[in-house]
Amino acid sequence: MKKTQDKKLEDKIKDLIKDTIQEMGYILVDVKFTTEEAYEGEKALVITIDKSNSGQGITIDDCAKVSRRIGKILDKADLIKESYILEVSSPGVKETISLPEWNEEG
């Protein structure tokens, strides 16, 4: 039951932030709402982004810029009622691509 709720929340967040991320020149690769050991049991919203067809990787400045922008959107939408950590990151070399539209561009 909890997994289904998290999946629905992830889908709502994808819909909410996808256009903004694209307008900023990035691709939304994945959205995960999770509790992992890395977060010491706290909830985390992990947004994975990449650059579209630029051949350049994502920098820490890219992640910070996207985090500030979508953080405001997420706060205003108030979809997540509990405290959480917002993390924006690059897909990395071995990341599984989970959004079908991202596969089409790559």
Per-residue confidence in pLDDT tens, the chain, 106 aa:
467 888 899 999 999 999 999 999 999 999 999 877 677 778 899 999 998 766 678 999 999 999 999 999 999 999 999 899 999 999 876 545 555 554 454 4
CATH 3.30.300.70 describes domain 2-105: yes
Q: How high is the pLDDT of residue 102?
A: 47
With beta carbons less than 8 A apart as the criterion, state whether 59 and 100 touch. Answer: no
Beta bridge partners of 26: 51
Domain parsing of the chain, residue ranges: 2-105
- pTM for this prediction: 0.80
